[in-house]
Structure 1
Amino acid sequence: MKANLRVGMSQGVNLTPQLLQSIRLLQLTAPQLELELRQALERNPLLEQEEPEDEAAEDTAAEAAALDAAAWDELPDPAFLSGGSAGAGGDEDGMLRIADGESSDPRLRLLRLLALHWDARDLPVAAWWLDQCDDRGYLEQPLDVLLDAARDAFPARADDVGMLRQRLLHGDWPGMAAADPAECLAAQLRALPADATRDLARRIVAGHLDLLATHDAGRLAAATGAPIDDVRAAMAMILALRPHPVQAPAADVHEHIVPDVVVRHAGGAWRVALNRRGAPQLRIAAHCERALAGSQHTALRGLLEEARWLVRGVAMRNDTLLRTAQVLVERQSAFLAQGPEAIVPLTLREVADAIGVHESTISRIVSGKYIQTPRGTFELKRMFAVRLEGAEIAGTAVKAMVKRLIDAEPAHAPLADDVIAGLLARQGVRIARRTVAKYRDQLAIGPARARQRLATRQARQECV
């Protein structure tokens, strides 16, 4: 037997309990953080609640937290969040073991579900596909364009990227990563038990979606050659499906939104501040810290270290949240002042580069966090926007323009999709008719013919 000695170097991060706690604090929403801190007050006698006007301890904790920011950002991004390689060792990512509440980000919720039964090597590709979806679960760009981009992003998996999208499409959330509503509905129908009604429903979705939108059972019966009663049953089955694949998280009926950040316009500038109401401000009791300075009591020293890490972790969370919100408000000031049509393209990476942290840190800090603005209270992630392909404008802004044009159209002569595309082209925004149709579907607005019928029906009812 011959023995070999090999010398090698590898880079890694030790996920200590303290760092895992810091990550968990980063992801907590305002109500979750308040509950966490009140439980800590009851559990650890070395902690005490600050008076609202006492901010000295918080400033000290923030300075100490800055020293640990590098360790925070050196943490490896979970394989299914970063879109990178899962690693040859196949070790379970430490982030998967962090217990926290259900995220409001559908991408994170689905990826956590997929991590239970998907091969770890497939999760980065699944994450990439979900990155290409809008908030409703539809692909943002044409499928052929995305397939080419996926093969470029994962050259070693070039033959598998299309198959993995199909797994998403027919997986835990049927219809996810669908190219259009027809593909979404077809995927949901495929998940139902096979019978004659389902087969007819699949035929209608595949070839007669325009007739389905008019709810005209007679024309559908003529087009499919099926009895009208069977057509009505198939229509009822289709209408019972979800219009989009994203499944909303189970919500508490008593749940109310507590903004994490408050924005106001004063003195000609936007002011950003954390919402200090609700969550208690904690600090370590000074007399306890002095008493334990030279103590060797193991249990009490452990409580002191736990208290220090909690105070420091909360300061890190608050500092990261505030800096992220400040960048978002600065970049999207036009959106706050003028409305959705003024939103500009903005990505996680751009914000991460602006404040000097990892992209995954921004992903965690904006998930489930709300910002209160003069335009209302909404999730921080709404201030990110995908750039429209081949243009310097965000898809969200174009969607708002489509809605404005439809809202202002004459009731007796609604605008067709190609007409809307032409009007937008005059404003310097060139998009295809099918893109207008996609945004219109996302806004739950029917086609021009359906809107005209609705307007005619309403006019007749007014006359009666």
Structure 2
Amino acid sequence: MKASATTSMQFGQSLQMTPQLLQSIRLLQLDGLQLELEIRRVLEQNPLLELDEEPVANPVPERVDAAGDVAAFDELPESSMWDVRGASWSGDDEDGLQRIAAGESTDPHLRVLQRLASELDGDALEIAAFWLEHCDDSGYLAAPHAALIETGRTRFGCGADALETVRQRLLAGDPAGVAARDLRECLLAQLAALPGRVAGRVLARCIVESALDLLATHDIVALAKSLQRDEADVQEAVRIVLSLDPRPAQSGAPVEATAVVPDVVVWHADAGWRVALNPAAAPRVSINAGYERALAESPASAPMRDMLQEARWFTRGLSMRYDTLLRTARVIVERQAAFLERGEEAMAPLTLKDVADAIGMHESTVSRITSGKFLQTPRGTIEMKRFFAVRLDGANVSGAAVKAMVRRLIDAEPAQRPLADEAIAALLARQGVHIARRTVAKYREQLDIAPARARRRGARPTLLARAG
């Protein structure tokens, strides 16, 4: 043996990802629509599987039902409880401005005109048609703005202000962002058009105005450093920006009405909270008993044996999904019962680890099973991720609860004397919640609420937030 030869030993652990485990993990993270498509695909490829047309009385494995607080399907409240209306585009159009409201065109610009027909007079509608005539298919101006202003003045014999007023109406219209000069103006118009108070909108506007180049790199750390903000806040603001449509004209196409189908139904009964899978979101798949018996009684080819094994993996994976989903929902409802009863200010601190420890699983499993899943509650359809709230440093309340307190105080403030951030912090301290002024400012911005001086009566409430 040569002295130069060296021998080293490496110790470590590795998880062997079996096909069955991979199947189960994949089923956990699918949302309702993805699960439906996956089940259809598997049923088409594996003739040994069949869809149970009638839901079984017990929607989950026996060991979960044994806890005694899981309802059978016949105990669920009326199905109308979880019917959620979706939004849809409507409107017909026809070639020619004079017949906008009567035809059936697929041209996106004519759809925009159709929606404006009842809001603008004839002259303004013609100017709107002029702007749209000079937009590309995505909704952006296809020529320099200044040149189009001059062309419009010559054509309509009006001033630049009249032309720009109509263009601004298009920018703020439905869909927002049409007739924008560039991507920045398009996204800013869509942010301004978001309904109500959207958490993170102020920071999202700041990103669009000054950091689009960094946004394009998807470098959250660099964005946070550039804007001097917390990475979590920047991440939320980036999510808002990425949810906007860079091709607004194309988004106006009619689509079918869609609705969120909750995965779990939660309701109050018998002095407690009841939790059950929504049968509409928990399709049951089983192995055809006749086929399985035939394969057991006679020798089967290798492909058929493989198909039977895959069928068993799939049904077990579905059972694991439903089991984990229901157990997770039960813990969430138990920990957030106060929120369900009293609202945002009662949101308790809750982490993925808390739930994982309660159900005896890993945090990654809880993360997968709560992504894209919804609970139907008396407070509406709520995404499961929303129930997780970070504990405020040095307090027994969550940041989400304190944010709701900040919103309540601002909603109740005198119009002539809006509360400064320091005053809000002092009022919260009287309620036993001690936070710094800068934390109040952070929550206020996340709620898309302007500083005190911009909230004074007569001031514009939200878009002046950054100016303060």
Normalised TM-score (structure 1): 0.59
Q: CA deviation at 1:379?
A: 1.0
Q: Deviations over 1:307-337 (max 9, x none)?
A: 1000000100110010001000000100110
Whether contact under 8 Å (1:416, 1:448) holds in the other structure is: yes
Backbone CA RMSD of aligned residues: 3.5
- Answer yes or no: is 1:264 the counterpart of 2:309: no
Question: Structure 2 regions of 5+ residues with no counterpart?
Answer: 66-198, 204-212, 246-250, 462-468
Structure 2 residue identity aligned to 1:245:
V
SS of corresponding position for 1:31: helix
CA distance in 2, matches of 1:61, 1:292: 29
Which residue does the alignment assign to 1:17? 19
* Residues 287, 311 of structure 2: 8 Å contact kept: yes
Tell which deviates more after alignment, 446-455 or 328-337. 446-455
**Distance across 2 between alignment mates of 1:61 and 1:51:** 24
1:310-325 aligned at under 5 Å gives the runs: 310-325=314-329
Match of 1:338 in 2: 342
Inter-CA distance 423–397: structure 2 relative to 1 (3 Å threshold):
same
Give the Cα separation in 2 of the matches to 1:434 and 1:342. Answer: 23
C-alpha deviations, 1:140-166, integer Å up to 9, x for none? Answer: xxxxxxxxxxxxxxxxxxxxxxxxxxx
Report if aligned partners of 1:420, 1:436 keep a CA contact under 8 Å in 2: yes
| Residue 367 of structure 1: how far off its partner (Å) | 1.1
Distance 1:304 1:258 in 2: 31
> Match for residue 280 of structure 1?
283
Question: How far 1:243 moved relative to its partner?
Answer: 9.7
Matched residues in 1 for 2:63 and 2:270: separation? 30
Q: 1:420, CA displacement in angstroms? A: 0.7
Q: Which of 299, 304, 308 is matched with 2:303 structurally?
A: 299
Is the contact made by 2:325 and 2:369 (CA closer than 8 Å) also made in structure 1? Answer: yes
List aligned pairs for 1:355-434, cutoff 5 A.
355-434=359-438
Greater Rg by CA: 2
**Which residue, 234, 238, 242 being the options, matches 1:245?**
238
Structure 1: runs of 5+ lacking an equivalent: 64-134, 140-167, 186-240, 458-464
Tell whether the 8 Å contact from 1:283 to 1:311 is kept in structure 2 after alignment. yes
Aligned length: 304
CA contact (8 A) 1:175 1:183 kept: no
Other-structure match for 1:34: 36
* CA distance in 1: counterparts of 2:201 and 2:291, whole angstroms: 52
Identity rate of aligned residues, in percent?
56
Letter in 2 for 1:362: V
Equivalent position of 1:173 in the other structure:
218
Q: Deviations over 1:416-460 (max 9, x none)?
A: 111111110110011111111110000000011111053599xxx
Contact 1:295 1:301 in 2 (8 A): no
How far residue 380 of structure 1 moved from its aligned partner, in angstroms, is: 0.4
In 2, Cα distance between equivalents of 1:24 and 1:438: 37
Does residue 183 of structure 1 match 2:238?
no
Question: Which whole-Å CA distance do the structure 2 matches of 1:297 and 1:47 have between them?
Answer: 18
Contact kept? 1:175, 1:244, Cα under 8 Å: no
**Distance of 1:46 and 1:7 partners within structure 2:** 47
Q: Secondary structure of 1:424's partner? A: helix
Q: What residue is the counterpart of 1:450 in the other structure?
A: 454
Q: Secondary structure at the match of 2:314?
A: helix
Matches of 2:202 and 2:365, distance apart in 1: 25
